[in-house]
Structure 1
Amino acid sequence: MNHELYSNPLITRYASRQMSSIWGDQKKFSTWRRLWVALAEAEAELGVPIAEAQLDELRAKVDDIDFVAAAAYEKRLRHDVMAHVHVYGDQCLRAKGVIHLGATSNFVVDNTDLILIRESLELVRGRLVAVIDALGRFAAEHRDLATLGFTHLQPAQPTTIGKRATLWAYDLVMDLTEVEHRLETLAARSTKGTTGTQASFLELFDGDHEKVAKLEQLVAEKMGFDNIYAVTGQTYPRKVDHQVLSALAGIAASCHKAATDIRILAHRKELEEPFEKEQIGSSAMAYKRNPMRSERICGLARYTMSLAPSAADTHATQWMERTLDDSAIRRLTLPQAFLAIDAMLSIYHNVAGGMVVYPQVIAKNLNEELPFMVTENILMQAVAAGGDRQELHELIRQHSQAAAAVVKQEGKSNDLLERLQQDKAFSKVDLSAAVDAQGLVGRAPQQVDSFLSEVVDPIRQRYGDGVDAEELRV
């Protein structure tokens, strides 16, 4: 590593080796060569005079790339594809004349990007499944642990820790559905030609349209694609990039939402992300246990979400059959969006698999707010015992205001229940039963059970428990 030059932290700090390798130079340019081999093989199968010895020569050098020579050629030619054509030709002298035959630069550039997108989406799919699985296990463990609910970030009707985790998981389930759809609809550009008309291939096959169509099908199959984009210009539709980056932005939003919830719960001392034995939370405040992993998820998520609009802009400005202003930005946005998603899902998996719950603090925080939340139940029970609804409502209002003043002005505990116990109007109400938290969470535990059996378990059956995250480096 050259410490004098800037290095991308997505590679050096955050993303996995698996995702980094997918977008590395070796993978990219080896895939270019595999496409040239696939093209030559298909052309030979359709009658173009290409000898098996030439094909063998090309196959033998697919992964043997001279990057120094390629850089020298590109400096002179100012064209990356032609630089690699020349380097490949220098290594395969007998086959030099059939490399890139009939193709345009985007034959290798775009088809390679589609292959890399496919492999990246498959890795992302596995990471999503792993986080869903981990959250499912967490939800099952805490399915009936009552906790204070929040709407508007204000205390609301109780829920359970497990039910809240299903909300996080369900967001990712919907993201998984979108990733599956993107994989199902991803297609090859294959051999569409310079402006998408296949004119060069029609010339190669002496006007035989059937052979041109067959060539397109053969090359796509050799690339592992069942489908081909019906029509293209010089590139595959840049609409696809926007769809893919939008799917990744959706995952990022889900991760951000959950990580923010975890940060808030850590502030309330109800829940913590994993904190290692020698981990330092602050260089100054030694006692700190900052939620740095959840914070990192949020930071990476915001970056990923910012990339989707650029893909929309690029799609919108592809004049006629293509403009080259898509090239530089796609070299940045496509790999970095996948690297960032890979990193945040790996971190999320680490957090979901090691979250620490503090039931006593959860109960304490819940009990402080619970008296206010059960006043309607108390009112109904008091009316059923023979009281006047309007008079009882006014009494509860007065007691509630007084209790709230004690909490806010004096910093003392909520004493609403004690006030009601001392009021003869509520003597026939079982106040202890009224504030039983387990009786106030509705069907939350049963909803957890249904979610796991009907939503999570089928995902586990399709994919197992997903892709294991690499050990976090920082």
Structure 2
Amino acid sequence: MEAYSTYQTPLSSRYASKEMAHLFSPAMRFSTWRKLWLYLATAEKELGLPIPDEALEQMAANIDLTPEQFDVAALEEKKRRHDVMAHVHTFGTVAPAAAGIIHLGATSCYVTDNADLIFLKDGLTLLIRALVVLIERLSAFAETNKSLPTLGFTHFQPAQLTTVGKRATLWIQDLLADLRNLRRARSDLGFRGAKGTTGTQASFLALFDGDHEKVKALDHRVTELAGFEYTYPVASQTYSRKVDADVLAALASLGATAHKIGTDLRLLANLKEVEEPFEASQIGSSAMAYKRNPMRSERVCSLARHLMILHQDALATAAVQWFERTLDDSANRRIALPEAFLTGDIVISTLRNVAEGLVVYPEVIKRRIAQELPFMATENVIMALVKAGGDRQQAHEAIRVHSQAAAREVKVHGRENDLIARIREDAFFDPIKDQLNSLLDPSSFIGRAPEQVTEFLRDWVTPALADEEAQAAIAGGGRVELSV
């Protein structure tokens, strides 16, 4: 019962993928700290410090913590009131040959900040690969429905026709922008490296007897061992918290995209034109048994709002870091960074689930078009009549009178739009009555929508998903192996 007696965030217990939840777990955090201590000791030995091989061997053999070591670390933290030093001591109990050199020359942020940068990098990789799969799934939907006419909406009022597939490309185009943002955020990430307590590397300069080149080589080597391409050229006690703000900006923008898609799908569900998947035994309402609520899309919107708001935490934290650092960033970042990635992960996976099971109702779409198309076709009718020798102004007046009468039937009496029936009964339109069916063909009102879908998928989506990482993500369903 203990597991049910303590609050757990639904982000990890209910929604997020195992991979993302594990990335921000204590087990991953503390094993990453141990890797970072191993990288530091390895580089220091390579550069001439007297660190025995046995020390490195014991450290490498004990990267993962056992349950007993978590207990030891908890007792040490309670006594020392310092989480990093508690884990330095705990690591030394299983790597006694290294106990005297673990964390040599480093400050706490060597492990905490560098680990966070690793988590940001791997978290972005998870999001990128999941997003690639979502885009691929929605692209298949767009291709399938590229020529299916549907009523367009501006201001959520009936507008010119588009197609179901063309509408989906609007979602995909925004997702492509998010993919570029996430890729750019990942490629921009550097490493804090070995910078010391206020970023001056004074402790390492002392270790290497004033040899500046060795200090620079140490910084470069730990960065290389951690798998980063570069180290930030300058740092305070921490890496700049603007890095967090920039990363979460990309995630917040993804949240805005997801909210727009989720909202569109909720509106389409109300129109009964397109619905998210609904299992045979799923219950839409505890009271109204007939309901089919768009609960997945609602979840997307709900969590997307949270994702957008979390960016404000990162901005505020970056703004209030006095001089070389203040600790008021710590508690906030412990919450905001994991939650942003867990939330982004859930939003993408939920949208993917929706995209893979979208249900389109062509007959409902056709009926709605039939209610509005006669009004939209009036200009075509006027032009056809003029081509047949009619008078444009007389045609316009006749159409105006019939349109207002038909609109009254729809709005006042709740009847079907009978504009075309009225035109068929009016002898004035005899010269073009044999053209009415072709003039009212919905496919003649969608412009280049099908061609736009084809060109967009070919020229934009395919290149964006062409690299090796994207293709591996699609083949593997978005699952990835973490670098740590």
Check whether TM > 0.5.
yes
Q: Aligned residue for 1:390?
A: 393
CA–CA separation in structure 1 for the residues paired with 2:210 and 2:267: 67
Say whether 1:359 aligns with 2:362.
yes
Instruction: Measure how far apart 1:318 and its partner are.
Output: 0.6
Q: Does 1:92 align with 2:101?
A: no
Question: Residue deviations 1:423-465, cap 9 Å, x none?
Answer: 3332223222111100110111011111111122223322125
* Aligned with 1:349 (options 352, 363, 369): 352
Partner letter of residue 51 of structure 1? Answer: P
- 1:433 match: 438
* SS across alignment from 2:147: coil
Could you report, residue by residue, the CA deviation over 1:280-319 in whole angstroms, capped at 9, with x for unpaired residues? 1111111111111111111110111110011111001111
Per-residue displacement from partner, 1:98-122 (whole Å, max 9, x unpaired)?
0000000000000000001111100
1:304 partnered with 2:304: no
Structure 1 residues 25-104: aligned runs within 5 Å: 25-65=26-66, 66-104=69-107
- Equivalent residue for 1:446, pick from 439, 443, 451: 451
Q: Which residue of 1 aligns with 2:23?
A: 22
Matches within 5 A, 1:409-428: 409-428=412-431
Given residue 64 of structure 1, which amino acid in structure 2 is its aligned partner? L
CA displacement at 1:374 relative to structure 2: 1.4
- Quote the residue 2:134 is aligned against: 131
Counterpart selection for 1:117 from 117, 120, 140: 120
Total equivalences in the alignment: 470
Q: Does 1:155 align with 2:164?
A: no
Question: Partners in 2 of 1:87 and 1:59 — Cα distance?
Answer: 15
Of residues 227-236 and 13-22 in structure 1, the stretch that sits farther from structure 2 once superposed is 227-236
Give the conservation status (yes or no) of the 8 Å contact 2:107–2:196.
yes
Contact 1:403–1:415 (CA under 8 A) maintained in structure 2: yes
Residue 246, structure 1, aligned to residue 249, structure 2: yes
User: Deviation of residue 251 (structure 1)?
Assistant: 1.0
Task: Answer yes or no: is the 8 Å Cα contact 1:387–1:425 preserved in 2.
Answer: no
CA distance in 1, matches of 2:301, 2:216: 47
Q: Aligned match of 1:408 in 404, 408, 411?
A: 411
Shift of 1:72: 1.1
CA distance in 1 between partners of 2:384 and 2:237 (Å): 74
Instruction: Say which SS state the counterpart of residue 325 (structure 1) adopts.
Output: helix
CA displacement, residues 192-232 of structure 1 (integer Å, 9 cap, x when unaligned): 11111111111111111111110000000000001111211
Alignment of 1:292-331 (within 5 A): 292-331=295-334
CA distance in 2, matches of 1:345, 1:115: 21
- Amino acid aligned to 1:282: S
Q: CA RMSD in A?
A: 1.3
Tell me, in whole angstroms, the C-alpha distance in 2 between the residues paired with 1:164 and 1:454.
Answer: 17
What SS does the aligned partner of 1:427 have? helix
Give the TM-score normalised by structure 2: 0.95
- Structure 1 residue runs without a partner (length 5+): none
Q: Distance in 1 between matches of 2:38 and 2:274?
A: 55
Give the secondary-structure state (helix, strand or coil) at the position aligned to 1:99: coil
Give 1:323's aligned amino acid: T
* Contact in 1 for aligned 2:134/2:348 (Cα 8 Å): yes
Which ranges in structure 2 are unaligned for 5 or more consecutive residues?
480-484
1:7 maps onto 2:12 in alignment: no
| Letter paired with 1:41 | T
The answer to whether structure 1 residue 208 and structure 2 residue 203 are counterparts is: no
